[in-house]
Amino acid sequence: MIINKYKLLQNLEETYCIIGRSKVQGVGVIAIRDIPKGTNPLPITTPEKLINLTEEDLKTLPKEVVSRVKELFIRSNEVYSVSSLGLNGLGIIGYMNHSKDPNTALNIHAYTSGYIPWVTIRDIKKGEELFWDYTTCYGDNLLNQFKFLK
């Protein structure tokens, strides 16, 4: 029990954002405190297991589900790395809205065993909404798509 309490307190210490009202599109990810540039605003202590799904695998699913998987999970090397919890396990990340002028990106340089952490690409003020550019996750060559991290 002490270990779980410690992990919870550590998680809360690293909490920067909540799901809140977006000025852009209904619901979004909102900073509840200032977040310095270079910070992972959405840390997870233990990454969920990711399972690689091919286009062939996706053909067995309802088209509405396939559409969301392709929108929300990263395709690299011709597979989508999908959380073992599927769409139901997205949590706060699933509420981050798109912008062509984002303030966060995936930190491909910190990739570890199927988990790519987020990083702020500029300082974010308390109350500000977090955005990322959805178009950076299409295709199979992620390293060339992250212009913000060069």
Write down the pLDDT at residue 144: 47
* Cβ(50)–Cβ(69) below 8 Å: no
The pLDDT of 107-121, averaged and rounded, is 73
Q: What is the pTM of this model?
A: 0.69
In the predicted structure, residue 54 carries a pLDDT above the cut 80: yes
Residues of the chain with pLDDT > 70: what percent? 79
Nearest to 69 by CA among 144, 81, 44, 113: 81
